[in-house]
Amino acid sequence: MVREPQEHARRVGRPRSEQADRAIIGAALDLFAESGAEGLCIEKVAARAGVGKATIYRRWPGKEDLLLDALAALVAPLPEPKGESVRDDLASLVEALRVESIDPRKARQVALLLGEGAQYPRLIERYVDTVVEPRRELFRRVLRRGMATGELRDGTSIEVAVDMLTGAVLARSRGTADRADRAYARRVVDELLIGLGSR
């Protein structure tokens, strides 16, 4: 008796539908925006997405996992640093964050998520680990390279510098009228580099 290859056996079953995935993620984000994590439940997501609950549970074991993926889907990958200039790479990263911050839907979702922190600490922790930290690591890589090449002074506090760069965007996104200023990212980086640049 000839056995089927294990790889073939894993393919048996109904393939995932990208259309269903998008509908589920969209429904989860809409419900989260309307009523926060507390008001989001699998039954409501299924009804709004037009799928059965079993379809959701095949993909996500619970609402926290679904919400984490939905929130992560709001975040586009940051540009990969080119490695030619610390100034240019930092400005590119900050500009990507700035563009993201002026999207009202994304800004509202992040604000809601932060507001849920006390009630859902595990969700916040997982969001930081899977979404925030990989983005901060891009900044760290650029700053470490700058120290190695002599573009930045030795002893630069990497974490403080990352906080300053990302925090500048966060502060500007909260109701500032000129948050769409395209030159802002470059100014933030230039001001920071006055202090961090090698003497």
Domain regions of the chain by residue span:
14-73, 86-196
Tell me the Ramachandran region of residue 188: left when phi exceeds 0, alpha when psi lies from -120 to 50, beta otherwise. Answer: alpha
> Cβ distance 107 to 27 under 8 Å?
no
CATH number of 86-196: 1.10.357.10
Note the Cα 128 to chain centre separation in Å. 9
pLDDT surpassing 80 at residue 7: no
Higher pLDDT, 1 or 180: 180
Measure the CA–CA gap between 168 and 157, rounded to whole angstroms.
Answer: 17
Q: Mean pLDDT across the stretch 54-60?
A: 94
Give 75's Cβ-side CA count (13 Å radius).
Answer: 18
**In which band, very low, low, confident or very high, does the pLDDT at 173 lie, cut at 50, 70 and 90?**
low
> Which residues are CB-contacts of 74 (< 8 A; sequence separation ≥ 6)?
29, 105, 106, 109, 110
Tokens read off for 156: 């630069």
> Cβ distance 48 to 31 under 8 Å?
yes
**pLDDT score, position 51:** 94
The closest alpha carbon to 45, from 26, 19, 68, belongs to: 26
Cα-Cα-Cα-Cα dihedral of 41, 42, 47, 53, to 10°? -160
Note the Cα 32 to chain centre separation in Å. 16
Measure the CA–CA gap between 18 and 148, rounded to whole angstroms.
Answer: 44
Lowest mean pLDDT among 40-49, 84-93, 126-135, 166-175: 166-175
Domains 14-73 and 86-196 alike in fold: no
CATH number of 14-73: 1.10.10.60
Measure the CA–CA gap between 5 and 19, rounded to whole angstroms.
Answer: 29
> Cβ distance 125 to 171 under 8 Å?
no
The three state secondary structure string of 27-87 is: HHHHHHHHHCCCCCCHHHHHHHHCCCHHHHHHHCCCHHHHHHHHHHHCCCCCCCCCCCCHH
Lowest mean pLDDT among 11-15, 18-22, 43-47, 159-163: 11-15
Q: Mean pLDDT across the stretch 52-79?
A: 90
**pLDDT score, position 117:** 65
Lowest mean pLDDT among 42-56, 99-113, 132-146, 152-166: 99-113
pLDDT surpassing 90 at residue 148: yes
Angle at 12 between CA 59 and CA 3, to 5 degrees: 140
